[in-house]
Amino acid sequence: MVRLSDLAEVRATDPDKAKELGATPLFPAPAPGQSRFVRARELQDLLLLKGVNLARIQFSGSSQVKIVGAAGDLPDLPTEAPSFSRQRRANQRAAEAICTLLREYVSPDTPWNVEATVATEHVRQVADPGHQVIARGGAEPWTGPQQFELSVQTAEGVVRVPVDAQVTIPDAVVVVRHSLPRGVLVRRADVELRHDADASAIAAVFHDLESVVGMETTQSVPEGRLLSGDMVRPPLWVRRGEVVTVYARAAGIRVRTQARARDDGSRGELVAVESLNDRKTFFARVCGIREVEVFARAVRAEPDESAVREPLGKVQRVAQY
């Protein structure tokens, strides 16, 4: 808003009256870069509209004044919020430029994950597909919160855009180095660790070699395939149809016999076995290669009511199994 003090020098015997008259608002200021001429007669009419008594005021000086609007004279107006799609496009272009920087100057084989956020006032320049976007900046270790600067080539020139980004690298996962047939044990030379950006979409992947070395494949695994939990299992120590040694353990007693396995089983699993003598079936836990074990009920001794009591009170007992 243009006030009287912006157009003229106000003098009065009372300084407070001069200050009050100079603060009288007249009209809105011109737009930035535009101008307006105000003549003395027009100024008098504006003061009359504001209720100022002109009979007590004298005018002197120029017959007109030129007013030029400047950006610094106007209050900052709120920036219009960009649309969701434009904001997302700007963030994506910024992330792609940062990934290009990291692949060129840090590691070309690392699957970098970048989440960048472009400030509202720069979304339009960055989102425009006709503007070239080049990133620079960042610091070691190159992961975590990072600060970059985008150079955006526009028709008006290069615009520097600061961008905050979160840089991550996917966890390393176990990958098969060469094809493995079904039913073989995985050796350390068969697998290796690699960074794979798509591994998060696969359930039960392995992140260390020790977890898979010594496991047995349950299916054929092609070269370069991520190794997941459904492709391997602990090695089979008991196979269906094999004759296995059965150990029955009780307190201080161990009995050994033989039976035929009716299931496949790995260490610690329960399998059904069939007695070679009477063909009865029972369950046993796998404890070794072609070995299973069962735990017998503890022996309990009870007094025999029919037994004759001795004079000294001794009781004859029989063992019940």
What secondary structure letter does DSSP report for 306?
A: T
> How far, in whole angstroms, is CA 64 from its chain's centroid?
65
Question: Both ends of the chain: CA-CA distance in Å?
Answer: 108
Class in CATH terms, 236-321: mainly beta
Paired strand residues for 294: 248
In the chain, list all ranges with CATH 2.30.30.760: 236-321
Q: pLDDT by residue for the chain (321 residues), tens digit each?
A: 788 888 788 888 888 888 888 888 877 777 776 777 778 888 788 788 777 787 778 877 777 777 777 655 444 444 556 788 889 999 999 999 999 999 898 888 888 889 998 988 888 889 888 899 999 988 888 888 999 999 998 887 888 889 989 998 877 788 888 888 888 888 888 888 887 656 655 667 787 888 888 888 888 888 888 888 788 888 888 888 889 898 887 777 778 888 999 988 888 888 899 988 888 888 999 888 889 898 766 556 566 555 545 554 444 444 443
Overall size of the chain counted in residues: 321
Q: For residue 193, what are its two tokens?
A: 């660790």
Helix (H) or strand (E) holding 22: helix 15-22
- DSSP secondary structure, 76-140, as one string: PPPPPPPPHHHHHHHHHHHHHHHHHHHHHHT-SSS--EEEEE--GGGHHHHH-TTSEEEEEE--T
d(CA 48, CA 172): 80
pLDDT of residue 93: 93
pLDDT of residue 159: 87
pLDDT of residue 166: 92
pLDDT of residue 14: 82
Q: For residue 138, what are its two tokens?
A: 């960042």
CATH topology for 172-233 is Type Iii Antifreeze Protein Isoform Hplc 12 (3.90.1210)
Q: For residue 286, what are its two tokens?
A: 């796998």
- DSSP secondary structure, 197-227, as one string: TTGGGSSSB--SGGGTTT-EESS-B-TTPBP
pLDDT of residue 215: 85
pLDDT of residue 148: 92
What secondary structure letter does DSSP report for 189?
A: G
pLDDT of residue 305: 58
pLDDT of residue 26: 79
pLDDT of residue 318: 42
